[in-house]
Amino acid sequence: MKSMLWSTLIVALAALSLAAQSAPDRGHRIERISQALNLTETQKTSIQALREKHRPDLVLRRDAVKHARIDLHSALQDPATPDTLLRTLYDKASSAQFDLILARRSVRREVQALLTPEQRAKAAELRGMARARMLERRPQPRRTPGMAG
């Protein structure tokens, strides 16, 4: 699941122009990805248009995930919340998250269709490198005395 999200993120970020971003670091990163993929101006424009087309739906889906998680977290804090309600709230949060994943996947597929086979291969390579960096930065679980291993 995380690889799918990273895949969507990397390809989508490649499409955004530097001017469209408010955060300078993000803009530089996007420009580097765009250069690494050697995107044409037509590709950049097409990808930006795709992102703009899907942005409202993705925002709604992200908000649905956020609110479903808040509802679940709030219910978990109340010891009187029945397990059946917790199950319902969990299922709602899970369903909202999966809907967001599917929507991002759809956008990723549309973006991938705009890339050449060489660009898709390079994008996969960049995703692999990003995944490796993420894993390096991930904190390792603490081992406590008495743990097997």
pLDDT of the residue at 20? 44
What is this structure's pTM? 0.68
pLDDT of the residue at 2? 54
The domain ranges of the chain are 2-137
Cα dist. 130→43, 50, 58, 100, 140 in Å? 22, 23, 23, 21, 18
pLDDT digits (tens, 9 = 90+) for 71-86: 999 999 999 999 999 9
Q: Distance between CA atoms of 137 and 67, rounded to whole angstroms?
A: 28
Three-class SS of 66-92: HHHHHHHHHHHHCCCCCHHHHHHHHHH
Cα dist. 72→2, 65, 76, 82 in Å? 22, 11, 6, 12
pLDDT of the residue at 146? 63
Classify 22 as helix, strand or coil: coil
pLDDT digits (tens, 9 = 90+) for 8-57: 445 555 444 333 444 445 567 778 888 999 999 999 999 889 989 999 99
